Every structure is written in structure tokens, then in C-alpha cells.
Amino acid sequence: MAAKLLYQGHGSVRIVTEEGKVIYIDPFMGDGYDLPADLILMTHGHYDHTQDNLITARNEGCKLIKWSDALKNGEYKSFDFGFVNVETVEAGYNKNHHVSECVGFILTFSDGIKTYLSGDTSTTPSMVRFAAKKLDYAFLCCDGVYNMDVKEASRCAEVIGAKHTIPYHMEPVKDKSGFDLRAAESFEAPGKIVLRPGKELELK
């Protein structure tokens, strides 16, 4: 039984692992915060990534890992929870997101499936090394205002070489949808998946 990812909108994602563990990444948008959390990840400190008050219940031993926990003294940390290994990678490289204050995450689940969530970023030097990781899924931001646009994100997707790439964080939040279909459709990547808010994706 594979992990199931719920795209909540904007940069917000919930994953239920095959063990039934619940992971929230960058809580802010959408529904689906009712499941008790086992792990909460935040890529940086902007308000649209840090609303963990939406998560109304947490299981005993729930861990909250912020960007400041994941990047210490210039060192990108890894965390092994058994049900998932969390590798911190660099993010930022634009005027709105400094590399010292932002991270992305690569999650490796117990069945070996690897999923990259970019957080808020432009192209990073480390992306050229991601192809060797043989990622199954990559979520790339592409709002074109605070981060890279669709064209740059499409180039990153080609470099990263994930089996499937999903555009997310496609625009500044203008309404309650957290989604821009036109941007998603113009995004180009082999194995592209357009995932609408409220829809689930089985990670397999």
C-alpha cells in the first residue's frame, strides 16, 4: 500500500504513509488538516508556509522541523524516522528567499519512493546532482513573482529528471483556490502531473 499525497493548494501538502503516519508540509492552504500529525515540515518562515495552527491534533511524539532546524551553521540536516527519511536540500537564490533561510526537502519513504518538495526557490546549484538520486516525484514552485516562473521551473525539471514532476505554488495567493490551471498547463516536464487542490496522488 503506497503513501497517499493530498495537494491542499498553493505550497501545502499532506502525506499519509503506508504505515499510516501523517506528514504535513508547509501548512497554509486548503482542507485536510483533521488527521493527527506525526511530522510537520516547514521550508521557510513566510506566513504562507507556517500555519501549523491549522493542524488541530498531533500524535504523541509528533515532530515539527522548521527551516532553522533543518539548516544549522550552513549544514543541511537529515532526519530518519523509519517511516520516512527527510533529507534537507538548499532553496532560495532569489531576492525574496535567501539561501540561508530557506530549504527544500527530499522524502524517501520506507518502500524507497523519493519525493522532492522545492519550497520557495529559484534554480539552485545542487539541482544538477538530483538526477543521480533517481527521484520519483518532484514538486516545483513556479509563481514567477516571488520565485522562478514556469519557464525556469521547466528547465529545472529537465535537469532534475524526476519520473514525475508536479507544478505547485503557482501564483501569489489571490483567492482561496491556491491554484492556477493556466500556469500548470504551460509547465513542461517529462511525466508531468497536473494535480488540483483537494486531489490525491498515490506515490508509487
- List the domains of the chain with CATH numbers: 3-196 (3.60.15.10)
The whole-angstrom separation of Cα 65 and Cα 15 is 15
Residue closest to 172 by CA, chosen among 149, 195, 153: 149
**What is the tens place of the pLDDT at every residue in 125-159?**
999 999 999 999 999 999 999 999 999 999 999 99
pLDDT at 171 (0 to 100): 76
Q: 175 pLDDT band (50/70/90 cuts)?
A: low
The whole-angstrom separation of Cα 182 and Cα 132 is 31
- pTM exceeding 0.85: yes
The number of beta carbons lying within 10 Å of the beta carbon of residue 76 is: 14
The whole-angstrom separation of Cα 178 and Cα 11 is 8
Q: What is the mean pLDDT of residues 149-171?
A: 96
Q: What is the mean pLDDT of residues 157-172?
A: 94
C-alpha dihedral sign at 107, 187, 160, 127: negative
Q: What are phi and psi of 26, to 5 degrees?
A: 50, 60
Task: Tell me: pLDDT of 111 over 70.
Answer: yes
**What is the tens place of the pLDDT at every residue in 24-77?**
999 999 999 999 999 999 999 999 999 999 999 999 999 999 999 999 999 999
Task: Tell me: pLDDT of 174 over 70.
Answer: no
CB 169, CB 117: distance < 8 Å: no
Q: What are the DSSP calls for the chain, one per residue?
A: --EEEEEEETTEEEEE-TT--EEEES--SSS---SPEEEEE-SSSSGGG--GGG---EEEEEEEE-HHHHEETTEE-EEE-SSEEEEEEE---BTTB-GGG-EEEEEEETTS-EEEE--S-S--GGGGGGGGG--SEEEEE--SSSS--HHHHHHHHHHH--SEEEEE--S---SSS---HHHHHH---TTB----TT-EEEE-
Measured CA distances, 124 to 15, 17, 29, 146, 148 (Å):
25, 28, 26, 15, 11
Residue closest to 40 by CA, chosen among 73, 99, 3, 84: 84
Express as a percent the part of the chain with pLDDT over 90.
95
CB 141, CB 120: distance < 8 Å: yes
